Structure formats: structure tokens, C-alpha cells
């Protein structure tokens, strides 16, 4: 089922309404002029270039719904192949599967059974034609603390110092990621493309790579070092490189470009937007990121969002769909639903699940012409018409 393309077809026939919900604010049909995009990795695989083009193409007509760790666990289940809190509510998987690569890379990797689950989930998502996006809550390679350990301003400085012990350790972590990426193959044996967003929320102070621990030059140096090592040294050509500042309040274009590594080092403009129940803030930031995307000719999207423990019955229509209408973003990805077993008092969830108050609204959200779920996707790994990537 291709809801958006059907809507465009109807619009071209002169129908006054192109939404199942009679939403007269649906986007205009895409034009026929060829758009030329440029990627960080000029040697990216054909499937990776196609995914990149599709990200641009899809945001002209709607946005993909995504959910972090949706295939890995849910509020009441853990590691069950085929399960999904999203699917249990609407009968469809998210279009975007978000996952964390940190435990694949850092010193938690040894005998970590969860990494086999991560791999299985990625393979299953790709088999259905879904999009994979990965963050990295990496431990602190200098202190041994977690990613929230911002006790030292020497971490990134050490990574960038040739021959240092910290650089050697960090390279080992990147080596592990390269090995894991090399094992991600589709059913035809081709590398599976991944939207890779390292050092997310770098605009905040909480992380060892954030603004309290690094200078602008150090953060940019870390970003370039990571891209150069994976792309040029390790020969990984299946990554779309995404940056994702945290934009919780109303932000301007210059805020999105805080410590920007350069157009030649960024493919995808993301944002982590934890704005609470404030759709006006969300709408404003969606407008800003859409405009920046158009200006730089780079696809964009919301790489994390949600409200922890929300109970609003109309959350999806009022807090997500309405602010996103008329904006051009390729995806909106909700943060995770923690596995809590029978502990209903634990409210760490950011998306819908069976029994949640917003179930009915989410079903309408799924049916809306603007939202792409798994079954709505075109072939994300075949180049669309009217988009070229170099």
C-alpha cells in the first residue's frame, strides 16, 4: 500500500481532498525537475546512494514513522522475533528502526548477547525494506565512565593525539564497528545501508563529546577523524552520516549549525527534539530544519522525540501530525519503550503500545496520508526518478 502516492494520483485527477482524514493541507505533488545531491562518501554503495535519494524524495510528500529499539524489545516483551509494540497496535511495523551501536563498539562488546539481537533486528528490518538509523551512547574511552561522564575535557583531545593510548582505544572501537558493519548483508549479499549518527546531542553538556568538554575545533576534528577512519581506512561505504543536535526549545538556523563539521562531512540533518507537550515549539523547529534542508540540499528528519510516560489520548494527532503537516522532513523517530515486564509503575516509554490511552488516535495517525510505515514504503534501496547522487 502506497498511501501518499495514491493521494497524489487522486490530486492529479482533480479530487478536492487527498487525505483519508479529509486533511486539506496535504503536500503538493513532487515536481519533475532533477535534483542533484552530494554525499560524504563518493564511493558509497549503489543501495546507500539510493537510500539517500529516497530520504530526499520521501520528505517531499510525507514522513516515515520510526521508533528506537522497536524490534528489539517492547514494554512487555524482550527479544521475540517479529514482535513490535507498534505492530501490536496498528498492524504495521515502523518505517524506521532506530538502534544503538555503542555496545557493539566499546568495552561492553565482550560476550554481549544483546549484540546478536541487534544484528537479527537489523536484518529483519532490511528484509522488509525498512530504514535503519544508529546512534552511539559510547562509554568514555579515557575515564572508563559512561557516555554521560563529562568529568574531563581531555577525552577528545586525547583521541585526536596521534599515538596516544586513548586514540588507540578509540580506533579499536571503530574497528569493531567496521567489522559489524561488514557482517550486515542483505539477502543478495550486499552491504546494508545505515544512517549513522555518532556524537548525537553535541549541543548539550552531558556527554564527553559535548560542548562542556570540547572546543569547536576539537568536536569538528573528532567528527572528521571518525568519518575519515571508517570511510577511508576501513573502507566502510554503507553509511549515511547524520548530525543530530538537541533542539528542545525554539531554535534558529545558526543553532542547527552549531559546530557544523562542513557540508562535505554531513549527509543528513537531524534533530533530537524533546520539547514536551508543546507542539508550537516542535512546529517551529520542523520549519527551521526543513528550510535548512532545502538550502543545503540534504535530507532531514527528527532523529529522537517523545514525551516520557505520556497519557494523552490525542497525542499523535495534536503533538506529532499537526506540527509536521506542511513541513518537509523524511522521518520522525520516537525514543524507546523500555522493557518493564510486569512493573506498570515504570513509565519509561515514549511511544504507543497495546493498552495505551492513545491507541485509537495512533491507528488514525497510521492511516493518514502523510505518514509512512513499513508497508507504505517504496523500494528504499532503488534509486527514485528525478534524484541524482554524487
pLDDT tens, residue order, the chain (390 aa) = 545 444 443 333 333 333 333 344 444 455 568 999 999 999 999 999 999 999 999 999 999 999 999 999 999 999 999 999 999 999 999 999 999 999 999 999 999 999 999 999 999 999 999 999 999 999 999 999 999 999 999 999 999 999 999 999 999 999 999 999 999 999 999 999 999 999 999 999 999 999 999 999 999 999 999 999 999 999 999 999 999 999 999 999 999 999 999 999 999 999 999 999 999 999 999 999 999 999 999 999 999 999 999 999 999 999 999 999 999 999 999 999 999 998 989 999 999 999 999 999 999 999 999 999 999 999 999 999 999 999
- Distance of alpha carbon 287 from alpha carbon 134, whole angstroms: 24
Residue 23 is assigned to a structural domain of this protein: no
CATH of the domain at 338: 3.20.20.80
What are residue 241's DSSP bridge partners? Answer: 196
What confidence score (pLDDT) does residue 7 get? 42
Sequence-ordered alpha helix ranges (H) in the chain: 3-12, 46-58, 85-90, 102-105, 113-127, 155-159, 165-183, 216-228, 253-256, 279-296, 315, 322-324, 359-367
What confidence score (pLDDT) does residue 342 get? 87
Residue 12 is assigned to a structural domain of this protein: no
For residue 196, the Cα-to-chain-centroid distance in whole angstroms is 8
Residue 27 is assigned to a structural domain of this protein: no
Residues involved in catalysis: 201, 304
What the block records as the C-alpha cell of 148 is: 554521560
Q: Are 353 and 79 in contact (CB under 8 A)?
A: no
Q: Are 89 and 359 in contact (CB under 8 A)?
A: yes
Residue 287 is assigned to a structural domain of this protein: yes
Residue 11 is assigned to a structural domain of this protein: no
Residue 3 is assigned to a structural domain of this protein: no
Q: Is 344 exposed, middle or buried (0-12, 13-18, 19+ CB in 10 A)?
A: exposed
**How many domains does the chain fold into?**
1
Residue 77 is assigned to a structural domain of this protein: yes
Residue 311 is part of which domain span? Answer: 33-389
What confidence score (pLDDT) does residue 3 get? 54
DSSP 8-state symbol, 267: S
Residue 9 is assigned to a structural domain of this protein: no
Give whole-number Cα distances, 377 to 66, 84, 361, in Å.
Answer: 12, 18, 21
Amino acid at each position: 500500500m502506497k498511501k501518499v502516492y495514491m493521494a497524489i494520483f487522486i490530486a492529479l485527477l482533480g479530487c478536492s481532498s487527498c487525505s483519508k482524514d479529509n486533511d486539506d493541507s496535504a503536500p503538493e505533488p513532487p515536481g519533475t525537475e532533477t535534483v542533484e545531491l552530494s554525499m560524504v562518501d563518493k564511493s558509497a554503495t549503489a543501495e546507500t546512494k539510493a537510500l539517500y535519494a529516497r530520504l530526499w524524495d520521501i520528505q517531499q510528500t510525507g514522513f516515515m514513522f520510526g521508533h528506537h529499539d522497536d524490534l528489539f524489545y517492547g514494554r512487555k516483551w524482550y527479544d521475540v522475533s517479529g514482535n513490535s509494540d507498534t505492530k501490536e497496535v496498528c498492524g504495521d511495523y515502523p518505517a524506521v528502526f532506530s538502534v544503538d551501536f555503542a555496545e557493539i563498539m566499546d568495552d561492553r562488546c565482550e560476550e554481549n548477547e544483546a549484540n546478536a539481537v541487534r544484528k537479527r533486528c537489523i536484518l529483519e528490518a532490511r528484509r522488509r525494506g525498512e530504514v535503519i538509523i544508529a546512534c552511539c551512547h559510547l562509554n568514555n574511552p579515557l575515564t572508563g565512565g559512561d557516555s554521560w561522564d563529562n568529568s574531563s575535557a581531555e577525552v577528545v583531545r586525547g583521541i585526536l593525539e596521534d599515538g596516544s593510548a586513548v586514540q588507540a582505544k578509540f580506533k579499536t572501537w571503530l574497528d569493531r564497528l567496521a567489522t559489524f558493519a561488514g557482517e550486515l548483508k542483505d539477502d543478495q549479499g550486499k552491504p546494508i545501508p545505515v544512517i549513522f549518527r555518532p556524537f548525537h546531542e553535541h549541543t548539550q553538556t552531558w556527554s564527553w563529546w559535548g560542548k562542556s568538554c570540547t572546543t569547536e575545533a576539537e568536536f569538528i576534528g573528532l567528527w572528521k577523524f571518525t568519518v575519515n577512519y571508517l570511510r577511508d581506512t576501513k573502507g566502510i561505504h554503507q553509511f549515511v552520516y547524520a548530525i543530530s543536535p538537541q533542539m528542545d526549545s525554539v531554535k534558529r538556523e545558526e543553532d542547527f549549525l552549531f559546530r557544523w563539521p562542513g557540508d562535505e562531512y554531513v549527509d543528513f540533518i537531524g534533530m533530537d527534539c524533546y520539547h514536551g507537550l508543546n507542539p508550537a515549539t516542535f512546529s517551529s523547529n520542523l520549519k527551521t530544519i526543513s528550510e535548512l534542508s532545502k538550502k543545503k540540499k540534504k535530507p532531514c528528519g527528527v532523529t529522537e522525540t517523545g514525551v516520557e510516560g505520556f497519557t494523552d489520548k490525542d497525542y499523535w494527532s495534536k503533538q506529532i501530525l499537526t506540527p509536521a503537516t506542511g513541513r518537509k522532513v523524511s522521518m520522525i523517530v520516537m525514543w524507546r519503550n523500555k522493557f518493564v515486564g510486569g512493573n506498570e509503575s515504570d513509565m519509561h516509554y515514549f511511544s504507543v503500545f497495546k493498552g495505551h490511552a492513545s491507541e485509537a488516535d495512533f491507528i488514525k495517525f497510521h492511516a493518514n496520508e502523510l505518514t509512512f510505515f513499513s508497508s507504505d514504503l517504496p523500494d528504499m534501496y532503488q534509486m527514485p526518478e528525478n534524484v541524482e547522487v554524487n
